[in-house]
Amino acid sequence: MLVKRQWGSELDPEALARANRAVDLDAEEADCPACGAKFKPPVRRCPDCGLRFG
Ligand SMILES: [Zn+2]
C-alpha cells in the first residue's frame, strides 16, 4: 500500500490534465489531429473530415 501511495504522489494533476486533453478546447484555435484542419472551439466536430471530439 505504501508503494501505491508513493506512485500516486508522483502523478502531477496538471500533467494528467494535459495528457487527457488531446484537443485543447480552451485555445482560440485548435487543429484536427486527423487532418490538421483548423477550427474554433467549441466546435465538436472537424468541419473538414468530420472527426468528432469529446
Ligand atoms: Zn479533421
For residue 50, the model assigns a pLDDT of: 93
Residue 20 included in any domain: yes
Backbone angles phi, psi at 19, to 5 degrees: -65, -35
What distance in angstroms lies between residue 17's CA and the mean position of ligand 1's atoms?
23
pTM: 0.45
Q: H helices then E strands: how many in the chain?
A: 2, 2
Residue 22 included in any domain: yes
Quote the domain boundaries for residue 25: 2-39
What distance in angstroms lies between residue 15's CA and the mean position of ligand 1's atoms?
26
Residue 11 included in any domain: yes
For residue 27, the model assigns a pLDDT of: 64
In the block, residue with C-alpha cell 496538471: 14
Residue 46 included in any domain: no
For residue 24, the model assigns a pLDDT of: 59
Report the SS3 class of residue 31: strand
What distance in angstroms lies between residue 45's CA and the mean position of ligand 1's atoms?
8
Q: What are the 10-residue block averages of pLDDT along the chain, 54 residues in total?
A: 58 68 67 89 87 82
Residue 30 included in any domain: yes
Q: How many structural domains compose the chain?
A: 1
Residue 47 included in any domain: no
Tell me how far apart the alpha carbons of residues 34 and 13 are, in angstroms, rounded to a whole number.
Answer: 27
In the block, residue with C-alpha cell 500500500: 1
